[in-house]
């Protein structure tokens, strides 16, 4: 989990300006979405690698592209915040923009790149699986659709034997050439950005002697309404 229950982003001071509060809470929610996506990516490719799951590729590629989309959303939200560091905090993850923009403008890439490069619409996903029982390493490739011609070269990059899954790459297109983005590295870079964001907020809160707030009863809630003669609000469920 990227954000612990004790994270400052879950306990923002109630006295901060409303716009800042909204943006910071939206960043918190976006972080949780990204964390959820990456967890599902790793879990699904682990089950595929171990032969425990069939080819449920739409779900897998959904999580991958959703992760990229929400990292970009995090960047956009952060750039709305007032900051005194010229937004240097997000520099380590800004490279995500290229692959995400390719996806957003995919209709223009069909003739320009996808046909010429014989690439499936949602790309190819590659990863390294280390079988700890046999001490063997395998490189997997998941193709999002029909395989057109040569699947391409599979490189065995350096891997950490302590990890079961690593080096998750998405291969897609950027204009007239193939391009790859390291999803594993992006998640690690994003993790560092989140830690720096938390540290920066903690320092600001300490400097201004602000009190953290418990938002449990008002954050991520479910509202339940019972139908009577007139719709009547009954209460909230946390």
Model confidence at 138: pLDDT above 60: yes
pLDDT band at 122 (very low <50, low <70, confident <90, very high): confident
* Least confident stretch, 52-66, 131-145, 223-237: 223-237
Residue 151 lies in a domain: no
Which CB contacts under 8 angstroms, 24+ apart, belong to 133-140? 135/161, 137/161, 138/49, 140/45, 140/48, 140/49
Angle at alpha carbon of residue 56, lines to 117 and 138, rounded to 5°: 70
Residue 90 lies in a domain: yes
Cβ(139)–Cβ(127) under 8 Å?
yes
Residue 114 lies in a domain: yes
Cβ(114)–Cβ(156) under 8 Å?
no
- Mean predicted confidence (pLDDT) in 126-149: 87
Beta-ladder partners of 165:
129
Residue 127 lies in a domain: no
**Share of residues in the chain with pLDDT > 70 (%):** 81
Q: What is the pLDDT of residues 54-83, one digit of tens each?
A: 778 999 999 999 999 999 999 999 999 877
Residue 124 lies in a domain: no
Residue 100 lies in a domain: yes
Total tally of structural domains belonging to the chain: 1
The rounded Cα 145 to chain-centroid distance in angstroms is 23
Residue 134 lies in a domain: no
Residue 162 lies in a domain: no
| Boundaries of domain holding 220 | 8-118+181-237
pTM score, two decimals? 0.87
- Mean predicted confidence (pLDDT) in 160-181: 83
Q: What is the pLDDT of residues 178-230, one digit of tens each?
A: 788 999 999 999 999 999 999 999 999 999 999 999 998 888 888 888 877 66
């Amino acid at each position: 989990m990227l954000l612990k229950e004790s994270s400052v982003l879950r306990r923002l001071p109630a006295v901060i300006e409303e716009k800042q509060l909204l943006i910071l809470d939206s960043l918190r929610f976006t972080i949780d979405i990204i964390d959820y996506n990456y967890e599902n990516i790793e879990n699904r490719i682990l089950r595929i690698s171990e032969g425990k799951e069939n080819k449920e590729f739409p779900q897998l590629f959904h999580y991958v592209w959703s992760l990229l989309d929400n990292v970009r959303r995090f960047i956009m939200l952060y750039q709305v915040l007032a900051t005194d560091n010229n937004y240097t905090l997000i520099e380590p993850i800004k490279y995500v923009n290229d692959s995400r923009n390719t996806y957003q403008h995919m209709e223009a890439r069909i003739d320009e790149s996808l046909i010429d490069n014989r690439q499936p619409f949602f790309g190819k996903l590659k990863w390294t699986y280390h079988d700890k029982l046999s001490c063997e390493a395998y490189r997997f490739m998941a193709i999002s659709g029909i395989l057109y011609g040569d699947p391409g070269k599979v490189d065995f990059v350096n891997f950490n034997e302590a990890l079961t899954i690593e080096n998750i790459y998405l291969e897609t297109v950027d204009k007239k050439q193939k391009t790859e983005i390291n999803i594993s590295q992006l998640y690690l870079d994003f993790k560092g950005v989140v830690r720096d964001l938390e540290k920066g907020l903690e320092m600001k809160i300490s400097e201004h002697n602000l009190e953290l707030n418990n938002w449990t009863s008002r954050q991520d809630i479910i509202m339940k309404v019972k139908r009577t003669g007139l719709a009547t609000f009954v209460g909230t469920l946390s």
